[in-house]
Amino acid sequence: TVLCEDRAAPCAREVCAAREEGAAGPARSGGAKRPPMPPAAAVFVALAAAVAGEPSSLSLPPCAEPVSEDRLSAFYSKVGRFSEDELAHALWYGKHLEPSDCAALAHLLCSGGMGAGLTELVLAANDIGDAGVVALARAVVYGRLPRLASLNIYKTKMGDTGIISLAEAAAARPLLALEKLELNANSISDAGLAVLSTALAGGAMPRLEELNLALNMFSADGLQTLASAAAASGALSNLTWLGLAANRFGASGAATLAGALAQEATPQLQYLDLGTTALGYEGIDALAPAIISPGLSALRELHFDSNNIGDSGVQEFAALTGQPGALPSLEVLVFSANNLRATGLGALANATLRGGLPKLTRLFFSANRVGYSPSFAPAAGPLRLGGLRNLVFLSLTANKIDDARLAEIADVMADGALSHLTDLYLPSNLIGSEGLAALGRAAERGALPHLKTLSLKSNLIGDDGLVSFARSVSNGRCPSCALYRLHVLHLSFNSITDVGVDALAEAIRGGALPWLHLLVVDRVTPSLKEVCRLRPDLDCSDPLPMPCRDLPEDKREACAQHEIAIYGECKTCG
């Protein structure tokens, strides 16, 4: 009744007309059939059916079901008490909320003005399921969240019923302020994504800028509905962030997506995550129309991790980026875990040498096979790493890089390659003492003059290597000296004893590494403690926390979500 009194809303008039027609009985003109149900009326039927678990007659469900005081008290015990005036950001991540708690929330939203000032609602990592989202959807229908700008329902065990209810509710009463919608790690299939796409095309969320659909269950068919809706309606013209990772839509889905992107359906897109989507080499080929089009001219970050692309796929991508206007704004590129060898890395370097990817500054190449044959410098000529002239971050974590391969890389860097690099990550390789010594000698020759972070965790480095490295950096008082600007050095989980640690401590005491702020080794010796006492700005820490595989399950999960998924590697264990 509240909604039907709101004559400013077209959906309200449709519902009222439908209800009046239903009350009047059969149509008067010769017993003709009634016209099709208005779209907004169909929304309420769907919501009522979802709440009841079965089809129902045309009726407008109440904004929220009655909730007992005990249920409200249980809800408050999880999220804490709050007043309507102070609730602008409801950040309820992992509060053990259940569907009944969402019913309590819906009751509070519907019984007062609590939602009037709410701009951010985080229900992530709670088991609210479809029933909880349906309860929230009913509050949306009644316009109880007029200023909501960010909605996070990541990992809530929501399926198609929940997302369909939310989408249809927003179609009936658009979320005009919503800019960020996180639906990742749920069970949305093609059917649910199709309804969401239709709602978006109809203006359900006209200001949407960030959409995260990663870790769901839709295929190429579902992605086609989203791409088609975006291309036809311009519904995603404000989108800057799109997460599609871990939905196995493959090359066929990539082709559909590429068509929409090439038509400039998302002209402001800056972030695109296609990791773990079964692209393969064919997926890169399917994306070609988008890569070379103006539709991705604003893209700054692109994820291709865990797609088994192979060297041929990277070579195809490199060739595409060499065309005029291809990805001119790209700064971050993730090719981790794609079965890539040195050939693939060389293809990217050569592409940048020819003028492609002019703004590329961060490259994630972890969990590949750069350390495998063929040689890093194949018979056709040396690898031109110098093409990566603007790179400031390079991750080669877990690439089977041994001493010989690192020595080759170090020689290339000593000749001026990667001269702007500030962060170099080499954990979890096969680097021993000879490799570290080679890196130190390259630094003496002027390699890596701007390096600030060097991570060599979880390798095979022994005392001989660290002693040689300490000797190389011992003359570090001048800005042009070896690794003069180094801030962070990780050497934990190697085979270094007190002998190696003391050699490095003596070099630091003598003035080496004057800007070093953090040194992580397996054991802080008395000599190193004394150096840290003399250098208050230097933190000589014990190893970082245990590897994430040994952490409690809740912390291990957070590690995987926030460090591996976003940054390409785990900060705790490499």
The confidence score (pLDDT) of residue 56 equals: 42
**Which two tokens mark 330?**
């790209």
The confidence score (pLDDT) of residue 410 equals: 94
Same domain, yes or no, for 311 and 390?
yes
Alpha-carbon dihedral sign for residues 43, 49, 52, 55: positive
Q: Fill in the DSSP letter of residue 561.
A: I
**Which two tokens mark 155?**
């990992």
Same domain, yes or no, for 440 and 391?
no
**Which two tokens mark 282?**
């064919």
Three-class SS state of 354? coil
Q: How far apart are CA 223 and CA 197, in angstroms?
A: 9
| Residue 344 belongs to some domain of the structure | yes
Three-class SS state of 549? helix
Same domain, yes or no, for 425 and 522?
yes
The number of residues making up the chain comes to 574
Helix, strand and coil content of the chain, in percent to the nearest 5, comes to 40, 10, 50
Same domain, yes or no, for 263 and 356?
yes
| Residue 388 belongs to some domain of the structure | yes
Q: Give the CB-side neighbour count of residue 207, counting CA atoms within 13 A.
A: 12
String of DSSP letters for 133-149: HHHHHHHHHTT--TT--
Contact 442, 476 (CB under 8 A): no
CA angle, 177 then 182 then 186, to 5°:
140
The confidence score (pLDDT) of residue 1 equals: 28
The confidence score (pLDDT) of residue 481 equals: 73
Whole-model pTM: value is 0.84
Same domain, yes or no, for 298 and 384?
yes
Give, for 334, the enclosing helix (H) or strand (E). strand 332-334
Same domain, yes or no, for 251 and 365?
yes
Q: How far apart are CA 83 and CA 98, in angstroms?
A: 22
Residues 6+ apart with CB under 8 A from 424: 394, 396, 448, 451, 453, 454, 455
| Residue 131 belongs to some domain of the structure | no
Instruction: Specify which residues 362 forms β-bridges with.
Output: 332, 393
Q: Which of 453, 443, 481, 421 is nearest to 571 (CA)?
A: 453
Segment-wise mean pLDDT, segments of 10 residues, the chain, 574 residues: 37 44 38 38 48 46 87 95 81 95 93 86 96 95 94 97 97 97 97 97 97 97 96 94 96 97 96 97 96 96 96 96 94 96 91 92 95 53 70 95 93 91 96 97 93 96 97 74 91 94 95 93 93 91 56 54 45 52
Same domain, yes or no, for 352 and 440?
no
| Residue 124 belongs to some domain of the structure | no
The confidence score (pLDDT) of residue 53 equals: 46
Residue type, 337: A
Residues 6+ apart with CB under 8 A from 125: 93, 94, 154, 155, 156
Instruction: Specify which residues 332 forms β-bridges with.
Output: 301, 362
Residues 6+ apart with CB under 8 A from 433: 403, 460, 461, 462, 463, 464, 465, 466, 468
Residue type, 65: E
CA angle, 396 then 397 then 398, to 5°:
115
Q: Give the CB-side neighbour count of residue 506, counting CA atoms within 13 A.
A: 13
Same domain, yes or no, for 433 and 536?
yes
E strands present in 19-161: 89-91, 120-122, 150-152
Same domain, yes or no, for 375 and 283?
yes
Contact 290, 319 (CB under 8 A): no
Same domain, yes or no, for 393 and 486?
no
- Whole-number Cα distances in Å, 124 to 154, 346, 475: 5, 41, 52
Kindly give the pairing relationship between strand 150-152 and strand 271-273.
Answer: unpaired
The confidence score (pLDDT) of residue 41 equals: 39
The confidence score (pLDDT) of residue 378 equals: 44
The confidence score (pLDDT) of residue 474 equals: 87
Same domain, yes or no, for 300 and 374?
yes
| Residue 164 belongs to some domain of the structure | no
Residue type, 420: H
Query: How large is the angle between the packed helices 526-534 and 498-509, nearest 10 degrees?
Result: 20
Same domain, yes or no, for 282 and 390?
yes
| Residue 225 belongs to some domain of the structure | no
- Whole-number Cα distances in Å, 6 to 9, 11, 138, 466, 524: 6, 9, 16, 75, 71
Contact 363, 393 (CB under 8 A): yes
| Residue 99 belongs to some domain of the structure | no
Q: How far apart are CA 115 and CA 140, in angstroms?
A: 10
Q: How far apart are CA 142 and CA 64, in angstroms?
A: 10
Residue 289, preceding bond cis, omega within 30 degrees?
A: no
Contact 33, 27 (CB under 8 A): yes
Nearest 10 degrees: CA dihedral of 510, 513, 516, 520? -80
CA angle, 451 then 452 then 454, to 5°:
85
Q: How far apart are CA 349 and CA 337, in angstroms?
A: 18
Give, for 489, the enclosing helix (H) or strand (E). strand 488-490
| Residue 302 belongs to some domain of the structure | yes
CATH number of the domain residue 286 falls in: 3.80.10.10
Three-class SS state of 62? coil
**How many structural domains does the chain have?**
2
Domain containing residue 336: 246-400
